[in-house]
Amino acid sequence: MRFLIPLLFILALPGYSLATLYTYVDDQGIRHYTNVPGDRRAKMVRPETQWRQSKPKIRQLSIKKTIQRQKQPRRLAAAGIEEHIRRASFEHRVDPLLIKAIIKTESNFNQFAVSAHGAQGLMQLMPGTAKDLQVTDPFDAYQNISGGTRYIRSMLDNYRGDLQLSLAAYNAGPGRVSRFGKVPRIPETIAYVRKVMQYYRSYQRGGSPSTSINVRRLVTIN
């Protein structure tokens, strides 16, 4: 502590700047700090060039952190998702509560969700399906909802409004449903149709289904 006090005193002197600093220990064991090396035992402790070179490194690190923060995706608020659902339902003539039930089952309203199979975003569009639907960014909430709504609309048209067959085709692909003419006996697809229908009925009754149940395992992109 006694060595720190002389240093603080030097730094506090009027007009003192961080130029080259020297230090030495005298015969009585007392450490001295000075910017005038009058004693042969004095050794330089802070060259002025070292101080100047340290500034850009600190600044570059700060800029790098700022850029990283700017690149982090921002999650859309629930109100924003609701607005996108209303818009997509109007454009593609699909009940907004059905869209909401599909999103609930597919991603639990996580717009950055990715399934183990590679399906992406709120309505879990596979990359090939997203490309066919002209969805350029599957993690953009409106693009994803609009594309997924357009897809379920085409399934409803293909199966003459049969909701369960349409949902099965959304999950397993229309080829499997057309082949069997009914919901294929695939455990994941059966569970998927059941969950969407459960959520859909709950929304129709004005309820709010639990957010803890998901059919697919999902991860989040950061």
Closest by CA position to 112, among listed 85, 139, 135: 139
**From residue 23, how far is each of 10, 93, 151, 154 by CA, in Å?**
12, 81, 76, 81
- Please enumerate in sequence order all residues whose Cβ is within 8 A of that of 65, keeping only pairs 6 or more positions apart, or say none: none
Is residue 91 flagged as an active site residue? no
Do residues 112 and 180 touch, judged by C-beta distance below 8 A? no
Q: Which amino acid, one-letter code, is at 144? A: N
Three-class secondary structure of residue 120 per DSSP: strand
Could you tell me where the DSSP H helices lie in 108-216?
127-132, 141-158, 163-172, 174-180, 187-204
| Backbone torsions φ then ψ of 113, nearest 5 degrees | -75, 145
Neighbours of 95 (CB within 10 A): 14
In the chain, how long is the greatest CA-to-CA distance? 100
Contact predicate 191/203, CB 8 Å:
no
Instruction: Out of 48, 82, 83, 106, pick the active-site residue.
Output: 106
Active-site residues, by number, are: 106
